[in-house]
């Protein structure tokens, strides 16, 4: 009986995570850009793969609180 409860809890967490990532797909990039997960402060000013220098500067301009030191 206890195994079923644990299974339902784990299943609920997985479904909730999938719903969040479906509804807010930019959440993954926001966490990555914030520097919380695996980003080095020096690397975030360099264009990400697939971006031109101009496109990356435009992207950083949309997030001045994250890229303040890159935009100065």
Instruction: Find where tokens 């719903």 sit.
Output: 19
Distance of CA 65 to the CA centre of its chain: 15
Domain ranges of the chain: 40-72
| Mean pLDDT, rounded, for 23-52 | 70
Summarised one tens digit per residue, pLDDT across range 43-67 is 778 887 888 889 888 888 888 888 8
| Mean pLDDT, rounded, for 17-39 | 72
Tell me the CA distances in angstroms from 41 to 35, 58, 66, one per residue in order: 7, 18, 10
Higher-confidence position of 31 and 8 = 8
Higher-confidence position of 34 and 37 = 34
């Amino acid at each position: 009986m206890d195994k079923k409860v644990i299974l339902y809890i784990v299943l609920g967490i997985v479904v909730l995570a999938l719903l969040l990532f479906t509804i807010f797909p930019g959440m993954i990039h926001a966490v990555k850009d914030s520097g919380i997960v695996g980003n080095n402060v020096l690397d975030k000013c360099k264009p990400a793969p697939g971006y031109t220098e101009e496109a990356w500067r435009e992207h950083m301009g949309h997030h001045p609180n994250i890229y303040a030191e890159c935009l100065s």
